[in-house]
Copies of this chain bind each other. A is one copy, B any other.
Amino acid sequence: MADALEKRSVSITRLSGNVPQIHTTASTVKGTTPSLVEDGRRRFIAASELSKSFGGFQALGPVNIHIEEGEFVSILGPSGCGKSTLMLVVAGLLQPTKGHIEINGRVLKRSMTDVGIVFQDHLLLEFRTAFENVLLQQEIRGLDRNQIRKRAQELFGKLGLSGAESRYPRQLSGGMQQRVSIARALVHEPSVLLMDEPFGALDAISRTQIRHDLEALWMETRKSVLFITHSIEEAIGLSDRVLVMSNSPGRVVEEIRIDLPRPRPAYLGQYPEFAKYAQQIYKTFEKLGVYQFK
């Protein structure tokens, strides 16, 4: 608990240290998202009574969720429960059937733009090299070319992508593609990060590595993150708060605050808290019928 408190205070310090920088970026970013930095108030994303149907099919909700500034929130839920749908609705890319999103107190009407998104299926452009895919942010947003190039280079280094800059997506393994997609989501230093199973394409061994790398990266910048995953270990390993969703149509059925020190190690089993959190989630899933053990 002491650890958690210390972390929170670090996060806040960090944030205020970051404010001018975010400001600079935000001012050059085109788009309609209300700036998240405003008169020192507590800033956040909040979704109220959100639900989404496709045709007659209820894919999501209703759910209420919020993300505090600089908070790392994970969503954990069985396949098909509406996690991706939730993320797309939060990003303003899909219109909710009911409910609305508020960003910093203002209702979101169009798609968010002060945001970086890692889509579940990477969504890289096959005809651009890895590096050009990341630079797309600069071209479309009309940002400063040199600054973004430098930042992209940095990210490639941190994400273990050095040397892969001029390769095309198809020349990269699934895991590398996903890393490029992560770099693209980060390069313009958005205030919000939405990640939909960003490690889905990786094998278990590489996942552990990249989880570690992402945590390190996040600890540097402390964005507000919505992280979608299937992996209990990953959710616990990365988050400040884990939201567990039920089977389709997904609702938030449990909220778990994770109080573990950062950075967290590859093998979390050594923490008794980890075992406790994991057991709790397994139990919930069993109760929900996600697992059926004979």
Contact = CB atoms under 8 A, between A and B. Distances in A.
A19 interface: no
Interface string A77-103: 011000000000000000000000000
Given A79-B206, A173-B79, A291 B266 contact: yes
Contacts of A270: 275, 279
A290 interface: yes
A293 B203 contact: no
Contacts of A266: 282, 286, 291, 293
Nearest to A272: B269
Interface residues of A, number: 37
Interface string A208-227: 11001000100000000000
B231 A204 contact: yes
A206 B278 CA distance: 15
A1 interface: no
Contacts of A230: 203-206
How many copies of this protein are present in the complex?
A: 2
A256 B159 CA distance: 32
B282 A278 contact: no
A204 B232 CA distance: 8
A173 to B, nearest CB: 7
Given A209-B291, A293-B212, A203 B269 contact: no
Nearest to A206: B79
A42 interface: no
Given A267-B279, A275-B269, A294-B216, A285 B205 contact: yes
Given A79-B206, A204-B229, A269-B278, 12 more contacts: A79-B175, A203-B231, A205-B230, A205-B290, A206-B230, A209-B290, A209-B291, A212-B294, A267-B278, A267-B282, A269-B269, A270-B279
